[in-house]
Structure 1
Amino acid sequence: MRRRKLLAVTLSTAVVGALGVLGITNASAAALDPTLPPGGNFDLAIWQLQLPTGSPGSPDTISPAKLKGASGYNNPTYFWTDKNDGSMTFWAPEKGVTTPNSNYARSELREMNRDGSAANWSLSGNHTLSAQLRIPSVTKNVCVGQVHLGTGGSSTKPLLELYYRPNGDIYIGTENSPAGGQTLHKVGNVALGVKWTYVINVTGNKINLTVNGSKTSYTIPSSFNPYKQYFKAGSYNQSSSDSTSNGAKVKFYSLTVSHG
């Protein structure tokens, strides 16, 4: 009996450890309720939603106060809970309203503080965005996670973007400087429609990315030091046309942020 108990404990520990490596914690593995809006399953009190609707150069945004909770915002076209698996689902068509500095539409979350102000953190410290997701459809390329520049200068560039392509290839694009220029690094391959995990960690002058347990690191150029940062996650489609039926659908099963 004692040997069986020891074996059970060992197996349980191994399973928990394996899930941790994949970025799937107890919280992220919790069951999602398909009857609730996204705010009923995810902590959206620290996110603002940007939609591919609105007026040219000025997309509609939904505040954290409207997103959070079991009666939070739901949009059956661009941002909703999947009735089959409870995932938080984003749809960004190729034709949609964009920001002044982009040619691509998005249904994407922008990190906020709990007091409703815009998140804007320094590179010092330890900052982590973790997610479990899958992409059922994408035309050419979709950005599913970002660290974006905040205050500190005139640049509107990201520090990094995490991309997924229809053939399953996953790339991180690291910005060369606040002036622009992005270097792509292939970091994995996951078949279309299959769940995978990512952890984006920024610590000092390092970007640490873990995709399905495989870690890579990148040095942040010193030219970014004056800038504050914030996280983004969702479906930021990377192709444009006159089509409202082509685009990128991204489904999240967990999404967490931590700062230390």
Structure 2
Amino acid sequence: MNLNLIKYIGVITASGVALPAYAQDACDSLRQLTIVSATDEGLYEETHGPENTIDGDMDADSRWSSESQGGPRTLLLDLGAEQNLTSVQIAFFKGDERKTKFAIETSLDGEAFQTVIPEQQSGGTTGDFETFELDSIPAQFMRLTGFGNESNNWNSIVEIAAFGCGEQVEVPEQAVLTERRGRGMFGLDPDATPGENFDLSGWYMTTPADDDGDGISDSVYENELAAGWTDPRYFFTDAATGGMVFRTTPSGAKTSANTNYTRSELRGMIRRGDESISVRRDDGFPNANNWVFSSAPKATQEAAGGVDGIMRATLAVNQVTRLGKDYQIGRVIIGQIHAKDDEPIRLYYRKLPQNKYGSIYYAHEPATGKEEWIELIGSRADVAPNPDDGIALDEVFSYEIEVKGKQEGDAIIPMLHVKIIRDDGSEVIAEPFDMRDSGFSIEDEFMYFKAGAYTQNNSSPDPEMDFDRVTFYSLDYEHGAPPVAGGN
């Protein structure tokens, strides 16, 4: 490297950290750089792996194809040594028929990346190479992020090449191959149990079964669930997608005498299998297995397992009930925040038999005051018209349910945030819901997340055949750390 041509520049990473970087003003001579490996997340389509992008074959069948299923896909290219990168050429699959959305980042160490080509579209006019010029950039790694194309969610590249100057690197004798991560969606394995596909160590399961005959629905706790427990009736892996299936029937067992409906549903367990911590305290004061609002008293926050929180899920509703009373048909709860006795949110999906699409709405049941209903997509009415912007059965979508405090003078106001993300990336965001008067910011109150299929129909005349089924493809939650007892 010619040190007379080096100058210092500041690189800001995605996390906002300033790093030193060095760039050459020019190259004495440009050449095509060796790319020693091309790897990805392992979610590529069958034989269309990432190594096809650097094999020198422009045949359309020799390509990388990976579908964006709720998120982008990345292709990581290793130049073998630090090089001076001046341009990238990309041949997009069906590049003369459609435009592909992508971005490119570079890195010296494979850890800290800087964006060199912000998100943009390909030209859409050629199946040959398209050239993207760069400032003279030092890099050993390039990361291409694909966001699908204007026709669908697939990211497909026939070939990619890098140009610049620097150290000569030999072409490896054997390509580095990415191991494919299963045949299902989102990298899930259709042959694995839910506990093998998902981290279930922070959940326990309530089923509609009463196999021990005690009159109460059976539950399965974290350690057994994470170890691979499954039930072919109510909780199992979908054989086609690898998704985690929740099935519930109106005729199933209930959790208590005060419950009207049955469920196949997970309950958040912050203790993560530590059975020395009880599920809950009977007096309503929180313990390390449950969380509280940041508006709760300080002593209450100190005793809890977390403060505020967010639950994220990607799922599809496959079937809802179609028989029974008008006000119960077709409705199922797919996510909740449950308090000691009440529910800050119950998130509903509802599809009426005569409608093509379903609606999404939520209920806020305060500890004090009247229950409130918020419609997000379509209507919750018993005779609602077909919502043109509704969500069909088997359509994949995501939701986020979050509680976080908002500073207002000296007070913290608990705010409920709800978001629905469609498969095309569009979002439906509810107005933040003010819970200051809901009665949850007290000493003897606590929260936990729930997710699954909680039927809201107990009137179907054919309860075994008329059931709810919901398949989850991702599910997680997180909380802020509680304050340390005795701290400021």
User: Is TM-score (shorter-chain normalized) higher than 0.5?
Assistant: yes
Once residues 235 and 435 of structure 2 are traced to their aligned partners in structure 1, the CA distance between those partners, rounded to angstroms, is 33
Aligned to 1:186: 375
**Equivalence map 1:16-31=2 (5 Å):** 30-31=186-187
Once residues 180 and 136 of structure 1 are traced to their aligned partners in structure 2, the CA distance between those partners, rounded to angstroms, is 35
1:67 is matched by which residue type in structure 2? Answer: L
TM-score (norm 1): 0.85
Once residues 80 and 47 of structure 1 are traced to their aligned partners in structure 2, the CA distance between those partners, rounded to angstroms, is 15
Task: Say whether 1:233 aligns with 2:451.
Answer: yes
Task: Say whether 1:15 aligns with 2:159.
Answer: no
Q: 1:201 to 1:57 in 2, by over 3 A?
A: farther
SS at match of 2:418: strand
TM-score (norm 2): 0.46
Instruction: List gaps (5 residues or longer) in structure 2.
Output: 1-85, 91-101, 105-117, 120-143, 149-184, 280-288, 295-306, 322-329, 352-356, 378-389, 406-413, 422-426, 481-488
SS at match of 2:224: helix
Once residues 149 and 61 of structure 1 are traced to their aligned partners in structure 2, the CA distance between those partners, rounded to angstroms, is 19
Structure with the higher fraction of residues in helix conformation: 1
Once residues 94 and 123 of structure 1 are traced to their aligned partners in structure 2, the CA distance between those partners, rounded to angstroms, is 33
Aligned to 1:120: 290
Measured after TM superposition, the shift of residue 221 of structure 1 is 3.6
Q: Which gives a bigger RCO, structure 1 or 2 (Cα 8 Å, sep 6+)?
A: 1
SS at match of 1:95: coil
Aligned to 1:21: none
Measured after TM superposition, the shift of residue 128 of structure 1 is 0.7
Once residues 202 and 57 of structure 1 are traced to their aligned partners in structure 2, the CA distance between those partners, rounded to angstroms, is 35
* 1:46-84 deviation line (CA, Å, top 9, x unaligned): 101001112475210001111104xx1010010000111
SS at match of 1:67: helix
* 1:213-248 deviation line (CA, Å, top 9, x unaligned): 322221114311122100000000000135222121
Aligned length: 239
Once residues 215 and 344 of structure 2 are traced to their aligned partners in structure 1, the CA distance between those partners, rounded to angstroms, is 22
Aligned to 2:226: 68
SS at match of 1:65: helix
1:187 is matched by which residue type in structure 2? Answer: L
The answer to whether the 8 Å contact 2:103/2:146 transfers is: no
Report the identity percentage.
Answer: 33
Task: Say whether 1:214 aligns with 2:446.
Answer: no
Measured after TM superposition, the shift of residue 3 of structure 1 is 5.6
Aligned to 2:132: none
2:418 is matched by which residue type in structure 1? Answer: L
- 1:99 aligns with one of 255, 267, 284: 255
Once residues 47 and 104 of structure 1 are traced to their aligned partners in structure 2, the CA distance between those partners, rounded to angstroms, is 21
RMSD between superposed Cα atoms in Å: 2.1
1:239 is matched by which residue type in structure 2? Answer: N
Measured after TM superposition, the shift of residue 190 of structure 1 is 1.1
Task: Say whether 1:133 aligns with 2:315.
Answer: yes
* 1:184-227 deviation line (CA, Å, top 9, x unaligned): 21112311210000011111301111101322221114311122
